[in-house]
Amino acid sequence: MDNEVPFGHFRLDPKKRQLSRDGTPIKLGSRALDILCVLAKANGKLVTKDDLMRQVWPGIVVEDSNIQVHVSALRKALDEGNDGPSHIITVPGRGYRLVRSGLGPPPGQDADTAGATQMVPGTSIAVLPFQNMSSEQEQEYFADGIVDDIITGLSRIKWLFVIARNSSFIYKGKVVDAKRAGRELGARYLLEGSVRKAGNQVRINAQLIDAQTGAHLWAERYDRKFVDIFAVQDEITVSVIGAIEPTLRRVEIERVKRQRPDSLDAYDLILRAQSFTRSAMVEGAAAAIPLLERALALEPDYAVAHAMLARCFHVRFSRGGLHEADRLASIRHAHAAISGGSDDAATLATAGFVIWIDEHDIRMAFDLFDRALTISHSNVAALSMSAFALAWMGKTELAIERGDRALRVSPFDPWNSYLAHMAVAVAYFHTKQYEEARDAACRAVEANPGFSVPHTLLTATLAQLDQMEQARAAARQVLELQPNFTIRGFSISVGSAPEVYNPFAEAWRRAGLPEK
């Protein structure tokens, strides 16, 4: 790589080993400059810590902290602010990327042709300043506060790259062309919105845009009473983040499906596997496992891949014959997912779920659930998975509270709503509120009709309501989806609290499900 590499006001000349800003040379240590050259050569792709070690310190064993020291020096030289890195992105547990975004196209390129080199790899989003539609200056601060909170909340979603506020706010007060802003910021998606206050009411409009096509992916309007400004900001922020995460996940999976299989990197393999895992059945797990193993072959410490594999092996164990090798594999991958100190809420929650259901280590499982909810109290996976565990343990009040909160935060998330509905169904069944349990079980079936477990819950609730014809029909559906289902076999996963499980078992016997 002999040519100059431009990014924003900076120019890197690898041949002369020189970094400059607006023509003025910047002094850097030789190792920091080596790291910058390696990152620039990768042209926006992830560079792992191991790759940096091999290229910057060939044949020498050094501590990881050496990389961190020199990356910190680079960030200081690049004058990155406190709102997040503009040029060097840390991918937790994996490595670094050099992002040439947010500061216009390289020399000789106009904005209409500069897109490919500006795009942040992976799933990236920029939250643009919300437009204040009121004349009051106070609403300007309110609008900016909402954007700040949304940026902070989205930054907790570890698979999502969020463009820093100091970059996206260059558009404040300007008419924005979505495609151009996406190119200039290096963002695949944009979130924009407006705030209007009238009397004691405030209306917030928000919309998610595909910056490459200009298509609107999601839009919502929020009308609230303007009583406590901070409470309103918090409520809107939680609602927006809860809606955006599943929307982006679905869009990204569809995008990856259109790619050639041989062009997929570890992140794309994860996305492709997700489309198979939603069924929570053996066939989906069988299709996902090879993709996830390919992802780990590319990046062995990829915590998300380990967590998803843990869930897949749990599915294969619980609904594929109760083979001990599958149970041990699920536990092994769950522990691998957390061994690197993961700070991704969904990863921690998934690991906790598997450790609860397959290893039956309740203390560790709920420590992981708590850690996940501390990182992101609106994470739907953490809420719904912990609610399901709580329900089978007889902690009905908290199970219902978390299940309902998951559904409020993200009512249209097909990936987690069925689990939240199941948690609520189990909790209501245990408290003998059988009509409410039946309704929740019906919603779980509607959310994931190919998953056998919601049908088992529906079978039990119908039997308790003495609707035996419908209960037997539901039981037949269970066996059609999972021919090897047995009451004793299911107890291995969720039967640790007999006072909760035994009434279900009795209802299943009455409906005709096999004992063993």
pLDDT tens-digit readout, 349-368: 999 999 999 999 999 999 99
Task: Report residue 128 as tokens.
Answer: 């643009």
Q: For residue 104, what pLDDT band results from cuts at 50, 70 and 90? A: very low
The mean pLDDT value for 391-418 works out to 84
Q: In the prediction, which pLDDT does 118 show? A: 41
Of these ranges, 98-112, 165-179, 395-409, the one predicted with the greatest mean pLDDT is: 395-409
pLDDT at 34 over 90: no
Q: Give Cα 34 to chain centroid, integer Å.
A: 33
The mean pLDDT value for 459-467 works out to 95
Q: In the prediction, which pLDDT does 265 show? A: 72
The mean pLDDT value for 469-482 works out to 94
The dihedral through the CA atoms of 395, 396, 398, 403 has a sign that is positive
Q: For residue 112, what pLDDT band results from cuts at 50, 70 and 90? A: very low
Q: In the prediction, which pLDDT does 114 show? A: 37
Q: In the prediction, which pLDDT does 48 show? A: 81
CA atoms in the 13 A half-sphere facing the CB of 499: 8
The residues facing 91 across adjacent strands are 95
Instruction: Please write the tens of the pLDDT for every residue from 284-333.
Output: 999 999 999 998 988 888 888 999 999 999 999 999 989 999 999 999 99
Task: Report residue 409 as tokens.
Answer: 């935060």
Cβ atoms within 10 Å of 320's Cβ, excluding its own: 18
What separation in angstroms does the CA of 258 have from each of 54, 160, 350? 34, 20, 27
Global pTM exceeds 0.85: no
Instruction: Measure the CA–CA gap between 379 and 349, rounded to whole angstroms.
Output: 9
pLDDT at 83 over 60: no
Q: In the prediction, which pLDDT does 7 show? A: 63
Q: Look over the chain and give the mean of its residue pLDDT values, rounded to a whole number.
A: 81
Nearest to 311 by CA among 342, 348, 345, 340: 348
Q: In the prediction, which pLDDT does 212 show? A: 81
Instruction: Please write the tens of the pLDDT for every residue from 433-442.
Output: 999 999 999 9
Q: In the prediction, which pLDDT does 356 show? A: 96
Overall CATH class of domain 300-511: mainly alpha
Instruction: Measure the CA–CA gap between 462 and 412, rounded to whole angstroms.
Output: 26
Per CATH, domain 117-255 is 3.40.50.10610: yes
Instruction: Name the residue ranges covered by the structural domains of the chain.
Output: 5-100, 117-255, 300-511
Q: For residue 57, what pLDDT band results from cuts at 50, 70 and 90? A: confident
Cβ atoms within 10 Å of 251's Cβ, excluding its own: 18
Overall CATH class of domain 5-100: mainly alpha
pLDDT at 414 over 80: no
Q: In the prediction, which pLDDT does 307 show? A: 93
